[in-house]
Structure 1
Amino acid sequence: MSATPREDRLVPAPAVRDPTLRDVAELAGVSPRTVSNVVNGYARVTPDTRAKVERALAQLDYQPNLLARSLANGRSGQILVVVPYLDTPYFSELLQAVIPRARTRGYDVLIDQTDGDPRHEAALLRRRSRGLRYDGMLFSPLGLSQDELRDRDQALPLVVLGERSSDGGFDHVGIDDVAASRDAVRHLVACGRRRIAAIGDQPYRTGEAAQRRTEGYRQALAEAGLPVDESLVVQTPRFNRADGARAMEALLALPDPPDAVFAYSDLVALGAVHVLHRVGLRVPDDVAVVGYDDIEDGRYSNPTISTVSPDKAAIAREAVDRLLGRVEGARTGRGEEILVDYALVPRQSTRGGSSEEGRGSEEGRE
């Protein structure tokens, strides 16, 4: 009787498993507890150790088990980021830093645009909007005043972004807007300019960001012994190109136009530069321009735009970590004011030079 031929057996490929905290710890050369502390933002970790762990997290594409976490603690594993306008480059660039930071901590990010509608902003603060489920909120308000931010779901962990001071009811992350604006105008004064305009003032109750920039503008002029000509302070409803262009047209129609402009955003600066080019004036020879926000468009415009550069990566890191610290119970108590670094970045619109010289130069962080 002949032997039955042996059937070839398929050997299953080893299962590809998701990386664990222990895998990350081995790659980073630290303990799993240290990795957990970095992922959850709990204990203090030295910057070098944190950097090693974050590199290992990225290299292994470590993703916490969101479903297990949600079932265990009753949370959604989602945070909501609320901005007034998604077509504003500053917010889109900030989101590019917020999303990976939240993902590293094991949270998904929901995004909502309010268009500055106070009713919609208030509904989100009360967690009454379209059944959205979120554990905490990063919020850049436009339609609500400082006092109105208190009228919210007090159980909602909240971090406010932008130029609002914390009153203790929430954490606030931003830069020292008055000091940054003062430095921008000091730069124009150092360039020899004496008739300096400001574009972007917003005197109404929700215009705190603009009001702080106007305060810094006035302080710098006083420091330089220059008078404030109120005709040179132009209000705008928004910080966009069109408003910057209209404001620049109004300034050029004055009997004594400015020789420099401090624009309250880079978009405003780009609108102003467009008008200056259209009427045949040279930037910076005839009129120097400084913007605010350091958006990518300003680094590749002609001329490149001198600007105040907030440390967006630090804003995102501090905002996400502080929010999740409250979501997960590691942080309690009154809200705090957190100021991150900024830098004044001189480019062609104030100092001239070639395009390559105008990109990427930076004065030290303040």
Structure 2
Amino acid sequence: MRHRLKDVAERAGVSVKTVSNVVNGYEHVRPDTRARVLEAIDALDYRPNLSARNLRRGRTGLIALAVPELDIPYFAELARHIVTAAARHEWTVLIDQTNGDREQERLVAAGIRDHLIDGLIFSPLALADADLDAGIGRTPMVLLGERVHGGPADHVAIDNVAAARDVTAHLIAIGRRRIAAIGAQHAAEGVTARLRLAGYTEALGAAGHPVDEALIAPATHWHRTDGAAAMRTLLDQRPDAVFCFNDTLALGAVRALHDAGLRVPGDVAVAGFDDIEDARFSVPTLTTVGPDKARLAAVAVDLLVARLGAPDAPPQGQTVPYAVKLRESTGHFS
């Protein structure tokens, strides 16, 4: 039998309104009264009816998260943080995978499921500014990443140029001179790749090192197999370090170097980007840029909450911090 608010009120000897105030965390309840209500809640194993509460608020209790690929560990880890942040607001998160397909992303942005959800957190890969300028759905939306900046929606990202510059500067500081890059993309959707390439070239320029195009390897996708394949194409260039534009590329590059009989970091130092869990358990452990994923998720959810409260407010853009995590792949063994 599912107990109701009325049952809790009767057991505690208080009004239904008082029980509601305790359940909703209102401060102005006497301590002894709050204690009786909490005892009654525990005794009856009462659980609030969130569906009814959301219905009264005009909410569904659901938000959506749309990402390009769930088998990229960064997005899987980010999803976990967003689920945690959303739970603090009693939201359940529905997760959608767009595969970086522009038409699918346009449908997501247009609010194809806006009758089902209260809001959307969306990391687009192929979406263009014009797609958003053409109109977005009625559902509040927060954009993640670098694909669309300054549009009609709230936005959260990290400073990719500065982060790539910092990790490349670290490779220079440990004495590496022929520093390769893996992950360049020249298609329209390769905004993140271009920002990370810009940081890489800025660091080389600041150190007085020329940019050698032969040391820059493209990667249409950022999977382990792509990193290994790109690393094999670079071996003839004899790099002594490589900056990979995400950690899965870096893990593939480490494998290719091992297969070629080269030592990491003795022969070639390797750095990645994203600080996925695998980076902390690989052999060697991986130096990488660590975005504050928990902070990014919390900011995205908070922006969604704010947007629901003020739907006509101007869009906000926020940048979250990052840190370069120094590990064994660049000679840091502590």
Q: What SS class does the counterpart of residue 321 from structure 1 fall into?
A: helix
1:101 has 2:101 as partner = no
Please report how far the alpha carbon of residue 200 of structure 1 lies from its aligned counterpart in structure 2 after TM superposition.
Answer: 0.5
* Count of residues in correspondence between the two structures: 307
Q: What SS class does the counterpart of residue 166 from structure 1 fall into?
A: coil
Q: Is the 8 A contact 2:63 2:94 kept in 1?
A: yes
Give the AA of the match of 2:224: R
1:22 has 2:22 as partner = yes
Give the AA of the match of 2:272: G
Please report how far the alpha carbon of residue 77 of structure 1 lies from its aligned counterpart in structure 2 after TM superposition.
Answer: 1.7
Q: Which runs of 5+ in 2 are unaligned?
A: 1-6, 30-45
Distance 1:132 1:89 in 2: 30
Distance 1:222 1:297, change over 3 A: same
Please report how far the alpha carbon of residue 337 of structure 1 lies from its aligned counterpart in structure 2 after TM superposition.
Answer: 1.6
1:350 has 2:300 as partner = no
Query: 1:105-145 deviations in whole A, cap 9, x for unaligned?
Result: 0211110011111111111222226x871121111111212
Q: What SS class does the counterpart of residue 22 from structure 1 fall into?
A: helix
Q: Is the 8 A contact 2:128 2:147 kept in 1?
A: no
Query: 1:129-183 deviations in whole A, cap 9, x for unaligned?
Result: 6x87112111111121233233343422111111245314111111111000000
Q: For 1:145-164, what aligned pairs fall within 5 Å after superposition?
A: 145-164=128-147
Q: What SS class does the counterpart of residue 66 from structure 2 fall into?
A: strand
Amino-acid identity (%): 46
Distance 1:24 1:126, change over 3 A: closer
Q: After the TM superposition, which of the residue ranges 331-340 and 108-117 deviates more from structure 2? A: 331-340
Of 218, 232, 236, the residue aligned with 1:235 is: 218
Distance 1:206 1:224 in 2: 30
Q: In the alignment, what sits opposite 1:278?
A: 259
Give the AA of the match of 1:342: Y
Q: Is the 8 A contact 2:126 2:147 kept in 1?
A: no
Q: TM-score, normalised by structure 2?
A: 0.85
Q: In the alignment, what sits opposite 1:138?
A: 121
Q: Is the 8 A contact 2:133 2:151 kept in 1?
A: no
Of 16, 25, 31, the residue aligned with 2:27 is: 31
Distance 1:65 1:214 in 2: 51
Of 300, 304, 307, the residue aligned with 2:288 is: 307
Q: What SS class does the counterpart of residue 188 from structure 2 fall into?
A: coil
Of 83, 96, 111, the residue aligned with 1:127 is: 111
Give the AA of the match of 2:235: L
1:196 has 2:179 as partner = yes
Q: For 1:41-80, what aligned pairs fall within 5 Å after superposition?
A: 65-80=49-64
Q: What is the Cα-based RMSD across aligned positions, in Å?
A: 2.7
Q: For 1:286-325, what aligned pairs fall within 5 Å after superposition?
A: 286-325=267-306
Please report how far the alpha carbon of residue 20 of structure 1 lies from its aligned counterpart in structure 2 after TM superposition.
Answer: 6.2
Q: In the alignment, what sits opposite 1:363?
A: none
Distance 2:249 2:104 in 1: 26
Please report how far the alpha carbon of residue 206 of structure 1 lies from its aligned counterpart in structure 2 after TM superposition.
Answer: 1.0
Distance 2:21 2:202 in 1: 51
